[in-house]
């Protein structure tokens, strides 16, 4: 099932075609989540092409900020070669939690009871007859 799955599915990692496309490309590094980064060839502007092969689900929010900077040509050296300084005010990155039990649910959402605070005097409901 592993080979067939890698041929036809893209949402749980790289497909077989992607692995074929990596031939001759340089492996540039790996982040703490196990994502692997590659570089090779040139894009239409002459910049080196860079991409990530995700470990697990293909979710762009799982790319750490330092590797994101490298992927988008904000920095030239990989974070392994020249670590990006972490500012004191920065929080650790978190993946996109949409669709999970940890997703943000605002007051009034059905999942948290469906009750929201009443409208104040500065709000007037729209009426189609007005």
Per-residue pLDDT 10s for the chain (130 aa) are: 466 665 566 556 666 667 677 888 899 999 998 999 999 988 899 999 998 988 887 888 889 989 999 999 999 999 989 888 888 998 888 888 888 889 988 888 888 787 777 777 777 778 898 6
- Residue 112 resides in a domain: no
State residue 21's pLDDT score.
Answer: 72
Quick check: is 68 in a domain? yes
Containing domain of residue 62, as a range?
Answer: 2-94
Residue of 62, 128, 47, 123 lying closest to 95 (CA atoms): 62
The reply to whether 87 falls in a domain is yes
Residue 1, pLDDT score = 47
| Beta carbons of 35 and 60 less than 8 angstroms apart | no
The answer to whether residue 76 is domain-embedded is yes
For residue 101, is it within any domain? no
d(CA 63, CA 35): 8
- DSSP codes of every residue in 49-117: EEEEE-SSS--GGGS-HHHHHHHTTS-SS-TTTSPPPPPTTPPPP----TTSTTS---TT-GGGTS--P
Is residue 48 in some structural domain? yes
Q: How far is 79 from 33, CA to CA, in rounded Å?
A: 14
Number of independent structural domains in the chain: 1
| 99 located within any domain | no
Residues whose CB falls within 8 Å of the CB of residue 12, separated by 6 or more in sequence, listed in order: 5, 56, 57, 58
Q: Is the residue at 121 inside a domain?
A: no
């Amino acid at each position: 099932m592993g080979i067939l799955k890698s041929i036809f599915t893209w949402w749980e990692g790289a497909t077989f075609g992607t692995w074929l496309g990596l031939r001759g490309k340089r492996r540039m590094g790996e982040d703490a989540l196990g994502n692997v980064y590659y570089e090779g060839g040139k894009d239409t502007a002459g910049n080196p092409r860079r991409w990530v092969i995700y470990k697990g689900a293909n979710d762009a929010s799982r790319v750490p900020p330092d590797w994101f900077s490298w992927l988008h040509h904000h920095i030239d050296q990989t974070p392994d070669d020249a670590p990006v300084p972490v500012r004191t005010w920065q929080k650790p990155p978190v993946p996109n939690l949409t669709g999970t039990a940890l997703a943000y649910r605002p007051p009034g959402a059905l999942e948290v009871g469906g009750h929201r605070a009443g409208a104040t005097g500065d709000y007037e409901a729209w009426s189609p007859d007005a």
